[in-house]
Amino acid sequence: MKTLIHSPWRLVIGLLVADFIFFTTTHPSKVGVLFLIVGFMLVVATLYVVTSRLLDVFKLYGIHFGKHQRRIAMFVTVIIGGLLALQSMGELGVRDAVVAVPLALVLYLYLSYGRPKPATERVT
């Protein structure tokens, strides 16, 4: 049986430790813009990895996402990251969240199922 150190969760643990260290040692009003950008990128990376691992947990319950798992993790990360960015600028409203989530769902469905598959062999 895999231990926690050798499991796929070690990246999650590493990012959470990096988040903890970064956000406890910096204060947003006393650091430059570069540190704010680094902090946002760190949060987005953590969101992506946590979302991806949580989708792996669904496999234990018989829910397999297959080739769409990476795309789902990206869409969830972009939605949460975008809402977080809007909130940090003070521009997030209820209408933004109500509009962003259904639009992201429609975009996901279009990109996953709406495009024709490329032909593997061309007949000439």
Q: Count of domains in the chain?
A: 1
For the chain, how many residues are written?
124
CA distance 63 to 66: 9
Residue 119, domain member (yes or no)? no
Which whole-number Å values give the CA distances from 87 to 19, 90, 92, in the listed order?
Answer: 19, 5, 5
**Cβ-based neighbour number of residue 73 at 10 Å:** 21
Residue 124, domain member (yes or no)? no
pLDDT tens by residue, 44-59:
999 999 999 998 888 8
pLDDT tens by residue, 1-47:
455 556 778 888 999 999 999 999 988 888 888 988 999 999 999 99
pTM for this predicted structure: 0.77
How much of the chain is in helix, strand and coil states, percent to nearest 5? 70, 0, 30
Residue 40, domain member (yes or no)? yes
- Tell me which of 121 and 8 has the higher pLDDT: 8
CA distance 55 to 80: 16
Residue 5, domain member (yes or no)? no
Range of 80's domain? 10-114
Question: Which residue do the tokens 């949060």 mark?
Answer: 43
Residue 59, domain member (yes or no)? yes
